[in-house]
Structure 1
Amino acid sequence: MTREIVIGNVKIGANKPLVLIAGPCVIESEEATLRHAERLMTICNGISMPLIFKASYDKANRTSLGAFRGPGMEEGLRILAKVKESLGLPVISDIHSIEQVAPAAEVLDVLQIPAFLCRQTDLLIAAAKSGKVINVKKGQFLAPWDMKNVAAKIAGTGNENIILTERGVSFGYNNLAVDMRSFPIMRSTGYPVVFDATHSVQLPGGQGGSSGGQREYVEYLSRAAVATGIDGIFMEVHENPDKALCDGPNSIDLADLPALLKTLKSIDILVK
């Protein structure tokens, strides 16, 4: 069993009910962000599923220089603070450098370490010293058992509010695969484990100047992952994925989300 971590009004781990971490890939505007957060909250309240709202203020690892990155840290954090204050939702976003830790920690409930940065020791330690919950995406280049070393860097500061997230492993060029063994392996660290269902169907750089994706497989991978007993599910969602400014090909349509979450909740109840 994994340890319990409290994030605002959400409890994750220790065989607590499945938690949803969801939102659009990137903050497109204040209006769109609040609209998505409100719809997600309505959906989750309808099925009694705990929700942490996710949206990135800066996507610093886009495929091409011209790709949309978001509004930047200052404006993005202002918008996320509004989501938190107006709707009462815990919020999570990516940090990319040590300089971002302090201002991000003033707003965010969870600091997220992107997969490409999961071995950056100084960033991990700086984030941990903020005292916030740290969610680390497992790098596409790492084995699941390698994440114990990542967690140890954070825990070495005295902060054991750690979440580990699986997001697929490189499987040839422009493709990812998910090894279901990774979930019990990473949960053996004692920290809650989340499955990033939408990035796991991403085709990195698959469209030449941007990443592609296969959102039609999110449902199947999600069902399998939840059946292993994971603690949370991470999904990028959008009201119109084909028009999303970032990661649209692997994002879930908000209209399809309620039915999928009901299925996942049923599986979670069964296995726990």
Structure 2
Amino acid sequence: MIQVPKLKHTDKNAFFLIAGPCAIEGEEIAMEIAERVGEITDKLGIPYIFKGSYRKANRSRIDSFTGIGDEKALNILAKVAQRFDLPTTTDFHTDEEAAMAANYVDILQVPAFLCRQTNLLVAAAKTGKVVNIKKGQFLSPEAMAFARQKVIDSGNDQVWLTERGATFGYTDLVVDFRGIPVMRSLGSPVVMDCTHSLQQPNQASGVTGGKPALIETIAKAAIAVGADGIFMETHPNPSVAKSDAANMLPLDNLEGILTKLLRIREAVL
């Protein structure tokens, strides 16, 4: 079911990895991350998809970083794909943006807050690209059947579903790992977003917090219960990242975590 152009190591029976910076901050940092993650995943035999948001539309404050310009960021995604021969993904935010983003990336990611927007899902489906729908923090895993079906009914059966935690009070999220097998039973690959699920939103400062020390824990549990893919936002120095600095994985920690996840995968298969 994993049909993505340029996706390597699909014969290894490993989970696939979606990883990159939260937002495209510039060409140099995007290339650095793509190169290093590509080297690690080639070494370990893990299928890798580069992720970067060309724009961050859902921000807490009006002065929060939103992007470097849509066309500039999308062109950087295209350069990453060409230079490293990697598939790429990005999120989009309106019906009109689906076709625009599809010209540059292989997978369209539907943001969690927008996962019930029918027109958005239909527009994504009509591009013919793989559509990765992130489960809303306000939805049960079972409810994702309807979001998935909207894409399928629009003529596109290449649908992935991503777990990213459920709202717990006003300023925290919790992951119910029962949701992974529930969503897998619908017939689509399921991804665990190990970084956004550790966000602490709605802080008094207007800057989202996070618990990055638990990224490895979330990832291990997800692989143990059968997740097909792992999503992690990573950065050489998360403290200076322009978006989601509080919950990204330091790039230096990635190889060690992935090595452990492969062992778990081998044990549970």
Answer whether contact 2:8 2:48 (CA < 8 A) is retained. Answer: no
- The AA in structure 1 aligned to 2:259 is K
Match of 2:234 in 1: 237
**In structure 2, which of residues 128, 131, 148 is the aligned counterpart of residue 131 of structure 1?**
128
1:61 maps onto 2:58 in alignment: yes
**In structure 2, which of residues 160, 167, 172 is the aligned counterpart of residue 170 of structure 1?**
167
- The AA in structure 2 aligned to 1:230 is A
Closer, same or farther in 2 for the Cα pair 1:233/1:9, shift >3 Å? Answer: same
1:44 maps onto 2:58 in alignment: no
1:112 maps onto 2:109 in alignment: yes
* Structure 2 counterpart SS, 1:246: coil
Between the aligned partners of 1:207 and 1:55, the Cα distance in structure 2 is 27
Answer whether contact 2:10 2:47 (CA < 8 A) is retained. Answer: no
**In structure 1, which of residues 2, 5, 30 is the aligned counterpart of residue 2 of structure 2?**
5
Answer whether contact 1:13 1:231 (CA < 8 A) is retained. Answer: no
1:88 maps onto 2:79 in alignment: no
Between the aligned partners of 2:235 and 2:20, the Cα distance in structure 1 is 7
* Structure 2 counterpart SS, 1:255: helix
Answer whether contact 1:57 1:70 (CA < 8 A) is retained. Answer: yes
- Identity level (%): 48
Q: After superposition, where does 1:196-235 map in structure 2 within 5 Å?
A: 196-206=193-203, 208-235=205-232
1:249 maps onto 2:233 in alignment: no
User: Once the two structures are superposed, what CA deviation does each residue of 1:32-85 show, in whole Å capped at 9, x if it has no partner?
Assistant: 111111111111111111100000010100111111111232111100000011
Q: How far did 1:221 drift? A: 1.2
Q: How far did 1:111 drift? A: 0.4
**Structure 2 unaligned spans of 5+:** none
Paired residues, what number? 269
- The AA in structure 2 aligned to 1:109 is D
Between the aligned partners of 2:11 and 2:165, the Cα distance in structure 1 is 24
Q: How far did 1:204 drift? A: 1.0
- The AA in structure 2 aligned to 1:57 is Y
Between the aligned partners of 2:9 and 2:102, the Cα distance in structure 1 is 20
RMSD value over aligned CA atoms? 1.6
User: Once the two structures are superposed, what CA deviation does each residue of 1:221-243 show, in whole Å capped at 9, x if it has no partner?
Assistant: 11011101110000000000111
Q: How far did 1:99 drift? A: 1.2
Match of 2:183 in 1: 186
Answer whether contact 1:16 1:231 (CA < 8 A) is retained. Answer: no
TM-score using structure 2 length: 0.97
* Structure 1 counterpart SS, 2:109: strand
